[in-house]
Amino acid sequence: MLLESLKRGDTVLEARGITKRFPGVLANDRIDFEIKAGEVHAILGENGAGKTTLMNILFGLYQPDEGEIYLYGKKVNFRSPLDAIDMGIGMVHQNRKLIPAHTVIENIILGHPRAGNILNLKRTGKEITELCDRYGFKIDLKAKVWQLSEGEKQIVEILKALYRGAKILILDEPTSALAPPETKRLLESIRIMTRDELAIVPFITHKLPIVLEVSERVTVLRRGKVSARLETTGATEKSLAREMVGRDVIFRMERVEVEKGKPILQVENLSALNDKNVLALKDVSFSVQEGEIFGIAGVSGNGQQVLAEVLAGLRKAQGGKVLLDDANITHSPSLERWSKGIGYIPSERVDVGSIGDFSLVDNIAMNYYFDVDFTKGGIVNYKGLRKLTEEMISEYDVAAPSPDTMAKSLSGGNLQKLILARVLSRKPRLLIANLPTQGLDVGATEFVQNKLMEAKKEKAGILLISEDLDEVLSLSDRVAPMYEGEFMGIIPGGEARREIVGSMMAGLKPKVEEI
């Protein structure tokens, strides 16, 4: 095969002058990009910079309006992802393209031309195990995918691409859902893959340190154009962010010291079940004080979501107590909690945080319909709400044409700003912020984090749940790493060492002297 004769340093993929237009948007504007065998070449950009479009073009999902793609020096024309797969391009999707009800091995061989009519799971299993050994992956091939962690699912996707014979691996936000130890293992595997002359193209929005650690070259996109091409030696986190955003970004949010007041929220021995009726929150105790950000760090699925829902009154507590300003609210309905001063930013901003087919005014009304200032005798004061929405849009810099815009037409960052505006405008005593910056680009993240800091200055207590370790560490006054429904400890945010919190998130209880 042609692919076998590749040597390190040969250009395997080259895109020249890629241009793609969507109605009203120039998503990709004459983008040039190339990658060599055995190289890691990252593509960096904010949301809306054209990364996804470019990725979809390289994978054959979209056809470019202008420009050419050359694979191993020959011009190619992908009509569908299948063409790209057949020519050795593998894609590891951020929202995993796997079937949860099927086993790992079934997912890997799905659609594989060599699978045969009658599946030979023994033979394919052996071949896949060899791949695992070679690249240092550990996975149970007979496990069902729904039982796997995010990191393991990613391994399955990588294996699927490799088993199909991928020579170029596109990784979409490869580390965004991984715990630090998983990230470390992934980077190790990437290094072995490049030794085998594979070309790796990670697409990255956040987690800039990873880019610096793993890649040799970086192409930065901004507003559909290439804004910089650099070697990673010599680049810094700051310089990359500047190229992405087009201005200097405050990287580490300065933690403002605010005098702590009395405790607002007290949680004692709280336990709860998850959707599968398994105990997912075990005996958790903590408190949040006025003017404090209490951070919960953890990899997705370790009980943070359950905790947030119990505190918001959306899920029943199995045991324990929740006190808000010394009043027991363990079994209070949500509405009572909102009236008593809890504000809730759900992690699913599209499914739970907003109703896509409602206008922005209606979405704001969802948090105000019970407010006596905006409703009289059951009649909602839409005039007032409209004015309020307009104020929020301008104050929070939401890019929306009018308050009557449908929520679903907003980008993730703008929608999150609107949800933030809705919650903060009620001046909550306690703000539960569940993954407030997940999936947001650098600019919007900075905005949200600033607003959280402002709320803290105004003496609100904030419970910040985040999967981004850097975010938790830089914002929180105290941090609780969470693992399998338990707090692995509660440590002061300023002094917490990244490695220690990282290993606590993976389930290790540290020795006291290490903290």
- Contacts with other proteins, residue ranges (CB under 8 A): 81-82, 85, 91, 97-102, 106, 109-113, 115-119, 160, 276-277
In order of 54, 141, 154, 168, 387, the CA distances from 148 in angstroms are 30, 11, 10, 25, 47
Judged by CB, which is closer to other proteins: 109, or 221? 109
Judged by CB, which is closer to other proteins: 203, or 368? 203
Q: Are 452 and 423 in contact (CB under 8 A)?
A: no
Q: Give the shortest CB-109-to-other proteins separation in angstroms.
A: 7
Judged by CB, which is closer to other proteins: 109, or 365? 109
Q: Are 460 and 381 in contact (CB under 8 A)?
A: no
Q: Give the shortest CB-276-to-other proteins separation in angstroms.
A: 6
Judged by CB, which is closer to other proteins: 53, or 363? 53
Q: Give the shortest CB-280-to-other proteins separation in angstroms.
A: 13
Q: Give the shortest CB-183-to-other proteins separation in angstroms.
A: 25
Q: Give the shortest CB-18-to-other proteins separation in angstroms.
A: 21
Judged by CB, which is closer to other proteins: 97, or 223? 97
Judged by CB, which is closer to other proteins: 80, or 339? 80
Judged by CB, which is closer to other proteins: 106, or 243? 106
Judged by CB, which is closer to other proteins: 146, or 370? 146
CB atoms within 10 A of CB 224: 23
Q: Give the shortest CB-85-to-other proteins separation in angstroms.
A: 6
Quote the CA–CA distance of 17 and 79 in Å, as a whole number: 18
Q: Are 437 and 466 in contact (CB under 8 A)?
A: yes
User: How many residues can be counted in the chain?
Assistant: 515
Partners of 433 in the β-ladder = 345, 464
Q: Give the shortest CB-182-to-other proteins separation in angstroms.
A: 22
* Pairing of β 279-289 and β 263-273: antiparallel
Judged by CB, which is closer to other proteins: 107, or 449? 107
Cα dihedral 468→186→142→128 (10° resolution): 160
H/E run at residue 501: helix 498-505
Q: Give the shortest CB-117-to-other proteins separation in angstroms.
A: 6
From the number of C-beta atoms within 10 Å of its C-beta (0-12, 13-18, 19+), residue 95 rates as exposed
Quote the CA–CA distance of 66 and 177 in Å, as a whole number: 34
In order of 192, 384, 434, 463, 485, the CA distances from 312 in angstroms are 45, 27, 11, 12, 17
Structure tokens at 257: 């010291």
Q: Give the shortest CB-236-to-other proteins separation in angstroms.
A: 36
H/E run at residue 125: helix 121-135
Pick left, alpha or beta for residue 30 (phi over 0 → left; psi -120 to 50 → alpha; otherwise beta).
Answer: left
